């Protein structure tokens, strides 16, 4: 990539910092330069987020239809998978799987609910209602 070809598009990172890229000058010599972003990359990231939003909404619907417990919604909202949630809560994956059923979720002790709430960085009330107050 030549210096003058370094993309200087808007991107999510642009609000925060420029990125270092390596490019060659007219004589073919490399040096490090700054880039504000590249729309090819920005669009890839946007697409990933659109997919995440869809998953969150689908999970919310499932909870509202009583097909899943709010844990599913927060798994998607917090971009977690079973492995990550198991690590944060200390529960086994199969335990979490059973808690994804609405009936099992309703029977959870306050203590266990608190563990999930902590892992998702919400209150127990927010965990139960899926109403999250965030900045």
Token output for 10: 């808007």
Nearer to other proteins by Cβ, of 3 and 131: the residue is 3
Q: How far apart are CA 18 and CA 128, in angstroms?
A: 41
The footprint of other proteins (CB under 8 A) covers: 1, 12-13, 15-24, 28-32, 34, 38-41, 43-45, 47-49, 51, 79-80, 83-84, 87-88
Nearer to other proteins by Cβ, of 66 and 83: the residue is 83
Cβ at position 113, least distance to other proteins in Å: 19
The interaxial angle of helices 39-64 and 70-77, nearest 10 deg, is 170
Phi, psi for 77 (deg, rounded to 5): -60, -35
Nearer to other proteins by Cβ, of 41 and 101: the residue is 41
């Amino acid at each position: 990539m030549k210096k003058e070809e370094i993309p200087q598009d808007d991107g999510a990172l642009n609000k925060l910092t420029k990125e270092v890229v390596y490019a060659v000058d007219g004589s073919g010599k490399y040096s490090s330069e700054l880039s504000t972003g590249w729309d090819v990359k920005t669009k890839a990231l946007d697409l990933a987020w659109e997919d995440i939003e869809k998953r969150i909404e689908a999970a919310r619907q499932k909870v509202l239809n009583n097909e899943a417990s709010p844990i599913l919604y927060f798994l998607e909202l917090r971009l977690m998978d079973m492995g990550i949630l198991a690590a944060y809560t200390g529960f086994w994956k199969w335990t979490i799987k059973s808690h994804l059923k609405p009936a099992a979720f309703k029977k959870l002790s306050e203590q266990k609910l608190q563990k999930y709430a902590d892992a998702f960085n919400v209150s127990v009330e927010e965990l139960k209602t899926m109403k999250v107050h965030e900045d």
